[in-house]
Amino acid sequence: MGRHYVNALALPSLLLIGLAGGAQPQAPGSVEAQGSGPFQISINVDLVVLNATVRDSKGRFAADLGERDFAVYEDGVRQSITLFRHEDIPVTVGLVVDHSSSMMPKIEDVAAAARTFVKSSSLDDEMFVVNFNEKVTLGLPDSLPFTNRPEDLTSAIANAPTRGMTALYDAIFEARNRLHTGTRDKKVLIVISDGGDNASKHSLAEVVKMAEQSTVLIYTIGIFGEEDHDRNPGVLRRLAGETGGEAFFPEEFKETVAICERIAHDIRHQYTIGYHSTGTARPGVYRTIRVTAGAAGSGKLSVRARAGYMASDGPRPPQGGSR
């Protein structure tokens, strides 16, 4: 997995993380976690938060782990876990869909996949669509910035024209901006494309930096054939890897439906783990993170989470909701 940056402004100053509702400031150094109702946490010290997916040797979710079953290491030094939750929390999700000319025979399958994703998600989630060819457009009308209705998402994808070139990087930036206007504190992008770009104003380096500095999880689905000369699976792998998401490359377009269902389940079965770093988060210093899990009778478990962070002295991106 790739690197992940945590903005320096979020570390020593007051950080509010509302995983399923608003958070109210507490006294310095305090932590509040409510056992019932909306989960709230307020802290005035360094906190590194991870979304971890744990699977057993057969690829099934390991759903019954406790805090003592996890170990978190930063730069090889074990950290004390101070936040641990395993709940299905609401999510803001952006579907970023390639509508360049090469996607014409695939859009019907993509629209069906979006419908499946919504049906497999929580009723409390909020979603939007960013369509792109050489131009980037929002799929939903201005009067409906977010939705959780399958028919809305399907229409937003299916009704957009498929033609022209590909501005993937610009679309990801637009989707990131829209994410931060959402009211849910967990943010996810699902990028469906061949990974190529021949029309963006932004560069790949800018997109990677944005992904490294963001807490957004990015899942990518690469759908292309041998005739797609602009395909770039490496870009899709990198974007997913940088953020702790996952990249998929179906052999047939119709497999996109099952993949979107898998992603929806993945999002809903993650553990939220937080720790106060024992290191000094100086701007420009990269810190590696390794998370392991093990429990009696569980066999070998694999954990997917972000691989590290780097403190940055730049401004934080705008946040929506209770942040």
Question: Do 162 and 182 belong together in one domain?
Answer: yes
Give the containing element (helix H, strand E) for 222: strand 217-222
Tokens representing residue 173 in the block? 């930036």
In 3D space, the residue among 110, 261, 260, 93 whose CA is nearest the CA of residue 175 turns out to be: 93
Whether 229 has a pLDDT exceeding 80, the answer reads no
Cα angle for residues 307, 267, 245 (degrees, 5° grid): 30
- Radius of gyration of the chain measured on its C-alpha atoms: 19
> In total, how many domains does the chain have?
2
Q: pLDDT tens across 159-204, in order?
A: 999 999 999 999 999 999 999 999 998 999 999 998 999 999 999 9
Whether residue 118 contacts residue 148, with contact meaning beta carbons closer than 8 Å, is answered with yes
Q: What is the DSSP letter of 253?
A: G
Question: Do 238 and 161 belong together in one domain?
Answer: yes
Question: Do 258 and 194 belong together in one domain?
Answer: yes
Whether 205 has a pLDDT exceeding 80, the answer reads yes
Residue 281 pLDDT:
61
Residues 6+ apart with CB under 8 A from 296: none
Give this prediction's pTM: 0.80
Domain-located, residue 323: no
Whether 321 has a pLDDT exceeding 60, the answer reads no
Residue 312 pLDDT:
59
The residues with which 132 forms a beta bridge, in sequence order, are 98, 136
State the average pLDDT over residues 208-220: 85
In the structure, what pLDDT confidence band is assigned to residue 49 with cuts at 50, 70 and 90?
confident
Whether 128 has a pLDDT exceeding 80, the answer reads yes
Tokens representing residue 135 in the block? 């131009």
Domain of 226? 91-268
Question: Do 134 and 18 belong together in one domain?
Answer: no
Residue 211 pLDDT:
82
Rounded alpha-carbon distances, angstroms, from residue 143 to 139, 140, 147, 304: 12, 8, 11, 37
Question: Do 302 and 215 belong together in one domain?
Answer: no
State the average pLDDT over residues 281-301: 85
What CATH number did the domain enclosing 118 receive?
3.40.50.410
Question: Do 219 and 136 belong together in one domain?
Answer: yes
Whether residue 186 contacts residue 19, with contact meaning beta carbons closer than 8 Å, is answered with yes
The C-alpha atoms of residue 301 and residue 207 are separated, in whole angstroms, by: 32
Q: pLDDT tens across 83-103, in order?
A: 999 988 899 999 999 999 888
